[in-house]
Amino acid sequence: MSDTLKNSLDAVLSRVTGGAGRVPGVVAMITSRDANIYEGAAGERLLGGGAPMTTDSVFAIFSTTKAITGAAVLQCVEEGLLDLDAPAKTYAPEIGSLQVLEGFDPAGAPRLRPPRREITTRMLMMHTAGFGYDFFNENYLRLAQEHGQPSVTTASKAALMTPLLFDPDEKWEYGTSMDWAGQVVERIRGKRLGEVFRERIFAPLGITEAGFTLTPAMRARLAGMHARNADGSLTPMPDFALPAEPEVDMGGHGLYATVGEYMKFIRMWLNEGAGPQGRVLRPETVAAALRSGLKSHQQIGMLPGVIPSLSNDADFFPGLKKSWGYSFLINEEEAPTGRPAGAVGWAGLANLFYWIDVKTGVGGYWATQILPFGDATSFTGYLDFESAVYRHLAG
């Protein structure tokens, strides 16, 4: 890595952690196919807490968990244990009991009916099964407020037992599909999802500090959560935590990890499924995962923030053609950052962002712990960070 690139990336981190509208702390890294070529940290783990943010800080990585669950699903497919187009209830029977929400009657009770077709694991991977999130969907929010539907952050079985928002395969909607995909993996393997990850993904990649529960060493380096207030100020949330002993290992959002550990996972994709201590996926599986799996009528649009404390309205590269793979966003056109068409990426609720560019052989991860999602400072900082990488590569 040249001093010019390092200076450019350091400057982005310094800028976002200083001045008005700052983020409390950030860790960001870039990797080639072989190794990290940039590791940076700036700011504090918890605003006013005194501990500096360091590259080995631990984050709740939220929906960047999904791609790891996707890899675990694809391993089952490779071994002939899972048919992506078979009813998902074949593997996780409870999903077969869920009905479609058609609205609410005059008394406010949900109006439900059986779905017109079965949910498949492919639909779960594509987010076309009919599930949503209460912070992106008004009907789910109403179920939570008026009928006690538990939040997914409770990591409970009850949180998964939501009605469908539409008939399976009708359209794309982002939600709890990958939590259900994790349940499919658990039933096939006969083990908790965290154990499957450790044995089949983390071990061959040399990942030791990632899991659904925090070890004492990880907890000691945990970055704290913060709330962005309407005036742009920040309020530390030192008591925020996902369940210490989750009832369900939530394949959609439940992992804690360091950024450095996630970079090992990104390198696996850059190396056609290979890790330093064994193969995770076959090259042909990686190629298939990076291709669009959506149908022409299934369009990806803006994520509307219906719980302002959790998410702003969010749209990745507005106006660009986008699709979905197993399990991440695909930009079908070159992005304003310089990311080429066909690269993939996604995000986590607390303003964490990553991308994987197999064509160029580079990937990156940007981690903060701020709510709501779509934080202007963190998201803009991430885009500036990615843009600096591609400017350097083009230069």
CATH code, domain carrying 61: 3.40.710.10
Q: Which residues are known to be catalytic? A: 63, 66, 174
Instruction: Report if residue 236 sits inside a domain.
Output: yes
DSSP tag of 97: G
The average confidence (pLDDT) of the chain is 97
Cβ pair 206, 276 in contact under 8 A:
yes
Give Cα separations from 114 to 75, 118, 126 (angstroms). Answer: 31, 10, 21
Instruction: Report if residue 130 sits inside a domain.
Output: no
**pLDDT-based confidence at 19, cuts 50/70/90?**
confident
How high is the pLDDT of residue 56? 98
pLDDT at 61 over 70: yes
Q: pTM higher than 0.85, yes or no?
A: yes
- The Cα 320–Cα 124 span in angstroms is 24
Mean pLDDT of all residues in 299-314:
94
- Domain span at residue 258? 3-75+187-394
How high is the pLDDT of residue 197? 98
The bridge status of strand 225-228 relative to strand 370-371 is parallel
- pLDDT tens digits, 130-154: 999 999 999 999 999 999 999 999 9
Cβ pair 136, 301 in contact under 8 A:
no
**pLDDT-based confidence at 210, cuts 50/70/90?**
very high
The bridge status of strand 210-211 relative to strand 256-258 is antiparallel
Mean pLDDT of all residues in 267-278:
98
pLDDT at 395 over 90: no
- The Cα 350–Cα 376 span in angstroms is 12
Q: Which two tokens stand for residue 13?
A: 């981190």
Instruction: Report if residue 121 sits inside a domain.
Output: no
How high is the pLDDT of residue 13? 98
Instruction: Report if residue 141 sits inside a domain.
Output: no
- pLDDT tens digits, 88-132: 999 999 999 999 999 999 999 999 999 999 999 999 999 999 999
* CA torsion angle 314 316 320 321 (round to 10): -100
- The Cα 92–Cα 156 span in angstroms is 15
Instruction: Report if residue 161 sits inside a domain.
Output: no
How high is the pLDDT of residue 20? 85
Mean pLDDT of all residues in 373-388:
98
pLDDT at 21 over 90: yes
Q: What DSSP string describes 219-280?
A: HTTBPPEEEE-TTS-EEEETT----SS-SS--TTT--EEEHHHHHHHHHHHHTTTEETTEES
How high is the pLDDT of residue 151? 95
- The Cα 381–Cα 230 span in angstroms is 19
- The Cα 204–Cα 207 span in angstroms is 8
The structure tokens 């976002």 sit at 16
Mean pLDDT of all residues in 22-45:
98
Total structural domains within the chain: 1
Instruction: Report if residue 194 sits inside a domain.
Output: yes
Mean pLDDT of all residues in 42-61:
96
How high is the pLDDT of residue 237? 96
Instruction: Report if residue 389 sits inside a domain.
Output: yes
**pLDDT-based confidence at 3, cuts 50/70/90?**
confident
Instruction: Report if residue 174 sits inside a domain.
Output: no
How high is the pLDDT of residue 1? 63
